[in-house]
Amino acid sequence: MDATAATVMVVDDDIDIRETIQDLLEVRGFHVIGAGDGADAMAQLKRGARPRVILLDLMMPGLSGEEFRNQQLADADIAHIPVVVLSGARGVDEAARRMRVASLPKPVELHELMETVGRFCADEHAAR
Amino acid sequence: MRRPHPSIRGKLIALTLLAILAPISCVLFIVGSNEIRDIRSDMVTSSVLITSVVAEYAAAALAFDSRPAAEEALQVLAANPRFLDATIYDRAGRRFAAFRRPGRTGPDPPAVLADAEPRSTLEGGRITVVYPIAQGGERFGTMVLHGAMAPVTSRVHAYVWGLWWLTLGIIAASLTLAWALERMVSRRLLRLADVARQIARGADYSVRASDRGHDEIGLLAEAFNNMLAEIDHRQTEAREAIRMRDEFLSVASHELKTPLTSLKLRVQGLIEHSPTVEDPTEAARMDKSFELAERQVRRLEKLVNNLLDVSRIAIGRFPLQREEVDLVGLVHNVIGQFSAEIARLDVEVGLDLPEHALGLWDPMRLEQVVVNLLSNALKYGAGSPVEIVVRIDGGNALLIVRDRGIGISPADQARIFERFERAVSLNYGGLGLGLHITREIVLAHGGTIRVESVPGEGAAFIVELPRGIEASEQMGEAWTQQPQP
């Protein structure tokens, strides 16, 4: 894996979704770290992980997407990391609007996913 | 509510009148007529008796041809005011002596023959007694007596008056009884009926009848209230069941998106970077498989989204996010999305669009509407040309999607916008949700949608949307969409 590859964090409780996004992103040259729930994601961030963008599922057991975001914003070290919400509701979820983050509807279009990730990683490694 | 007719009160009045008045009238009538008959026969008897007594005295007077004696005999009659006049006739039928009550008016009674038969007759309120004056077998003359039947008449009047006042009394009594019964019964029953009507009109099952009596009507009211409590309970249960069902639908369709997410991404990934296959036939077959797989994923996605929308509409969570939208641009966009399908079906799509049609709408929902109408036109158009028209009409935008396909019967036209309604056989796929959702979106924007169709000649769906913007068409410059955050 290219050391200067941009890192993307994928937070989703469904393993298939996580692995699929991971595979598709890695093929295009991204480095992907996965987390199965909000608590796991938060732990990794606290340990020093610094992704360029976090793809966040809203509906997760334990720490919900919204709660994760609140905790993230409360920590100055990681508050700057942009979040894109993967939302099962049609279009922009009310929660996403509340959180003032971008959102992608599920099931997500491949090209939309790539464009969005590419945008946040634009000033460093360009996505293939 | 119609007035009770005939009411219980009316029936009671009729009943009491019949039940009380009729028998009493009969009894009175019978008793009365018996008494009157008795009085009459008494009067006849006494008149005949007194005539016979006077005739005895008159016999001697006639025998001795003494007028004064005869007149003196007749004076006996003066004592009884009943007797009006009496005349004694001699053997030859000539008037011998007469008595006439003072003040007696009327013509003189006709002369009678000397050998007239004894008789008594009643005629026009007068009694006439004809009595032979005889003694020792020898006939001296005839006496005629006239009397008034006034007591009888007055007695008859008394009975008639009595009956009249009795009738009046009974009517008054039955009216009073009816009024009392109305208060005790009818009014309470009507109040109960009122409550029932109120409930039927307002579908508010929390209403209760307020009757607190302990009689049969009280029991009726109690049973009525129990029934209402039961209905209320069942209705609450039913509502709850519906709400749970819709919540479930919402959750289920949400859940269905999870497997769809990875499925779609993988299929799209495969299409983008499909493995290299040497044999071109195999390669073509593989490409076709992936494309079909993606199409099916899209179909699944659409069905799931429709289910989600419908359940959200049902539980009231269907918000709009309005932005400035160019309907014309949106139509072009959708045509683009359908380009493959249009080519595949070889359908001619005609566009009659202005340059721009701006409005404050929810772009995603509006796109849903255009997609639904176009997809229906392609599906049921039977290959016929499809026409899409957009017009600006003052504060409204008009969207018409027309096909020349199988059409929709008038009976179905009313139904197709309902949930789960389909105007075609199950051979045409789909859940029947598209038009329902489309209508909900249009209504949520404050617009209207209607269909005009003749079976066999196609259908036109006409959508009218208020534009919701104050600014006029002087917004000449092209408007661009906001960048994604």
Tell me: pLDDT of A111 over 60: yes
- The reply to whether B259 touches chain A by the CB within 8 Å rule is yes
Give the integer Cα–Cα distance in Å for B101 and B82. Answer: 9
User: pLDDT class for B106, splitting at 50, 70, 90?
Assistant: low
DSSP secondary-structure letter at B418?
A: S
B322 touches chain A (CB under 8 A): no
Closest by CA to B398, choosing from B326, B464, B324, is B464
pLDDT beyond 50 at B275: yes
pLDDT at res. A71: 92
pLDDT of B107 higher than 70: no
Residue B422, pLDDT above cutoff 70? no
Quickly count: other Cβ atoms within 10 Å of residue A18's Cβ. 20
pLDDT of B327 higher than 90? yes
CATH number of A7-117: 3.40.50.2300
What mean pLDDT value characterizes chain B?
83
Q: Given an 8 Å threshold on Cβ–Cβ distance, is B254 in contact with A86?
A: no
pLDDT at B318: 76
From B264, B269, B308, residue closest to A107, measured CB to CB: B264
ipTM: 0.88
Tokens of A66: 């919204």
Residue B44's H or E segment, with its range, is helix B22-63
B274 CB neighbour count, 10 Å cutoff:
13
The torsion of the CA quartet B108, B110, B113, B115, rounded to 10 degrees, works out to -70
Contacts of A90 in chain B (CB under 8 A): 305, 308-309, 364
Comparing A20 with B98, the larger pLDDT belongs to: A20
Task: Identify all chain A residues contacting B485, using CB atoms and an 8 Å cutoff.
Answer: 100-102
- Note whether B269 contacts A23, CB cutoff 8 Å: yes
Domain range annotation of chain A: 7-117
Residue in the structure block whose two tokens are 């959102």: A103
Range in A55-59, A66-70, B432-436 with the lowest mean pLDDT: B432-436
Query: Which of the pair, B320 or B315, is modelled with greater confidence?
Result: B320
- Of the pLDDT bands very low, low, confident and very high (cuts 50, 70, 90), residue B428 is low
pTM: 0.54
- Residue B28 CA, distance from chain mean position: 46
Tell me which chain A residues have a C-beta less than 8 angstroms from the C-beta of B484. 102, 116
Is the Cβ–Cβ distance between B417 and B459 less than 8 Å?
no
Residue B476 — very low, low, confident or very high, per pLDDT cuts 50/70/90? very low
- pLDDT score, position B268: 94
Task: Report the C-alpha gap between B49 and B129 in whole angstroms.
Answer: 10
Q: What is the SS3 assignment for B441?
A: helix
Output the pLDDT for position B102: 79
Whole-number percent of chain A with pLDDT over 90: 56
Dihedral over alpha carbons B371, B373, B375, B378 (to 10 degrees): -140
Mean pLDDT, residues B130-146? 86
Question: pLDDT confidence of A39, banded at 50, 70, 90?
Answer: very high
Chain B interface, best mutation among A10, A11, A15, A20, by max B CB count within 10 A: A20
Check if B266 contacts A (Cβ < 8 Å): yes
User: Do the chains contact at B268 and A23, CB–CB below 8 Å?
Assistant: no
Judge if the upstream peptide bond of residue A107 is cis by omega within 30 degrees of 0: yes
Are residues B417 and B436 in contact, defined by beta-carbon separation less than 8 angstroms? yes
Q: What letter represents residue B458's amino acid? A: G
Mean pLDDT of the B157-176 span:
84
**Beta sheet of B126-135, edge-to-edge order:** B95-100, B83-90, B138-148, B126-135, B119-123
In the prediction, which pLDDT does A43 show? Answer: 94
Tell me whether residues B254 and A20 touch, CB distance under 8 A.
no
* Overall average pLDDT of the B104-127 stretch: 71
Tokens of A10: 């994928």
- Is a pLDDT exceeding 50 seen at residue B82? yes
Rg (CA), chain B: 55
The arithmetic mean of pLDDT across residues B159-177, rounded, is 84
Contact B463, B369 (CB under 8 A): yes
Q: What pLDDT does A126 receive?
A: 43
The residues with which B461 forms a beta bridge, in sequence order, are B401, B451
How many beta-carbon pairs under 8 angstroms link A with B?
66
Subunit contact A90:B364, Cβ cutoff 8 A: yes
For residue B1, the model assigns a pLDDT of: 57
How far is it, in rounded angstroms, from Cα B359 to Cα B327?
8
Other CB atoms closer than 10 Å to residue B125's CB: what's the count?
11
Give DSSP secondary structure letters for B223-290. HHHHHHHHHHHHHHHHHHHHHHHHHHHHHHHHHHHHHHHHHHHHHHHHHHTPPP-SSHHHHHHHHHHH
The C-alpha of B187 sits at a distance from chain A's nearest C-alpha, in angstroms, of: 57
pLDDT of A128 higher than 50: no
Q: Categorize the per-residue pLDDT at B471 as very low, low, confident or very high, splitting at 50, 70 and 90.
A: very low
pLDDT in tens, B45-54: 988 899 889 8
Tokens 């009067």 map to which residue? B43
Summarize pLDDT for B17-75 with one digit per residue, the tens: 888 878 888 888 888 888 888 888 888 898 889 988 988 888 888 888 888 888 888 88
CB B12 within 8 A of CB B181: yes
Question: What is the pLDDT, as a whole number, of residue A92?
Answer: 54
